[in-house]
Amino acid sequence: MYKFYGDDSEMNAAMAEAQRRLPEFKCALDKDARQVIPSIEGSLVKARFESLITHSVEHMWVEDAGFEGDQIVGTLSSQPNNIPELTIGEWVSVSPDDISDWVYRQNENTYGGFTVRVMQRRGLEP
């Protein structure tokens, strides 16, 4: 886990881009769901989680992400450090407003991953 601060303009711009382009992600997942043979290999979102107990905030990855109504659901794929009410592997539901990144692979291409690219440019492992 890496700590980023609220005044990190490059990371904030990446998260804003992910938010702005979230309808693209939804459209791709919806289109893939209508295919006889789906071609999206994996869909992930990075979402903001806040503990009601510790008040800590962590941005963690959720895999097998999909939309259910006005929420995004999937399996928490990160182990929370300071959010005791969540565990890795748990089914979670998050508001689109809490999404800080999204990524999916389709036909050997990767889409999204805005914060991932910032981290890679900085030499950090996403």
DSSP letters along 22-87, please? HHHHHHHHHHHHTSSS--EEEEEEEEEEE-TTT--EEEEEEEEEEEETTEEEEEE-S--SS-TT--
pLDDT in tens, 37-56: 889 988 999 999 999 999 99
In CATH, what is the architecture of 9-119?
Answer: Roll (2.30)
Higher pLDDT, 125 or 55: 55
* Residue-level pLDDT at 28: 95
Please report the pLDDT score of residue 3 as a whole number. Answer: 57
State if pTM tops 0.85: yes
What is the band of 122 on the pLDDT scale with cuts at 50, 70, 90? confident
